[in-house]
């Protein structure tokens, strides 16, 4: 098995970890004392042993990318401890939905599946189709970052919050939802292809701690989010191809 998605490990580290270090290092002596809120990833938890997952679950990153995300979180902890910087991470579940940067639209799994279903009328299902995921719509993610304004300074101590919709969805479930929204979609099953370890994880978020401190809640259910995403694909399809 390949180490990690055929990625350039050094480049991935520079983007996901070293850039975070550079930002913190530049900010540590600023008179304005900015609060740093890092966009982290729930994949850091890896192959979870129970659901839903909250902040107390142990870390077991299943990919180089997830390791680099965890390293960034550790930089945030370090700069808080040594320099007193106000830092915080939000560990996000699977984000989906529209974006102004059309070139990155299909980088996230649900968008990629949706655009393939829309244009090719096909959904490929692999041997992780029973794995559970937590898909969160982009507007809810943006609001989570905005709602950090309600956190007191004591929470900006390098620690993290789990952010997700709390909805449990398998890839089989997702296929059925897309078929119900767009006719004549064909499911192509591939039980033989062995995927990266990270693709066999289960994850559903327990965001109750963050909600209790900020009153944030995920508002866009998956059905509504899929409708908005498919409308976005319809209106931007020529540029997304």
**Each residue's pLDDT tens digit, 73-115:** 999 999 999 999 999 999 999 999 999 999 999 999 999 999 9
Over the chain (241 residues), what is each successive 10-residue block's mean pLDDT?
62 94 96 96 96 97 95 98 97 97 94 93 93 98 98 97 98 94 88 90 98 98 97 94 71
DSSP label of 32: T
CA distances from 75 to 16, 57, 83, 145, 207 (A): 11, 20, 11, 20, 23
Tell me which residue has tokens 């191809």: 241
Q: What is the Cα–Cα distance from 241 to 235, expressed in whole angstroms?
A: 12
Q: What is the largest CA-CA distance in the chain?
A: 60
Answer whether 85's CB lies under 8 Å from 37's CB.
no
Residues 120, 125, 130, 135: what is their CA dihedral angle, to the nearest 10 degrees?
A: -30
What lies within 8 Å, CB to CB, of 102 at 6+ separation is: 236, 239, 240
């Amino acid at each position: 098995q390949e180490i990690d998605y055929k990625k350039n490990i050094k480049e991935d580290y520079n983007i996901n970890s070293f850039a975070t270090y550079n930002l913190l290092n530049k900010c540590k002596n600023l008179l304005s004392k900015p609060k740093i809120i890092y966009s982290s990833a729930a994949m850091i938890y890896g192959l979870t042993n129970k659901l839903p997952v909250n902040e107390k679950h142990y870390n077991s990153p299943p990919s180089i990318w997830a390791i680099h995300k965890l390293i960034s979180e550790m930089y945030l902890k370090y700069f808080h401890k040594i320099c007193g910087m106000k830092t915080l991470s939000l560990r996000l579940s699977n984000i989906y939905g529209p974006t102004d940067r059309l070139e990155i639209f299909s980088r996230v799994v649900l968008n990629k599946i949706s655009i393939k279903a829309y244009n090719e009328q096909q959904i490929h299902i692999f041997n992780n189709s029973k794995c559970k995921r937590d898909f969160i719509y982009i507007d809810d993610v943006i609001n989570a970052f905005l709602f950090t304004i309600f956190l007191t300074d004591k929470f900006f101590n390098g620690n993290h919050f789990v952010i997700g919709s709390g909805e449990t969805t398998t890839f089989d479930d997702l296929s059925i939802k897309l078929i119900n929204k767009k006719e004549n979609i064909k499911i192509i099953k591939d039980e033989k292809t062995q995927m990266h370890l990270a693709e066999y994880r289960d994850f559903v978020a327990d965001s109750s701690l963050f909600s209790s401190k900020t009153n944030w809640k995920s508002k866009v259910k998956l059905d509504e989010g899929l409708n908005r995403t498919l409308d976005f694909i319809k209106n931007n399809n020529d540029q997304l191809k």
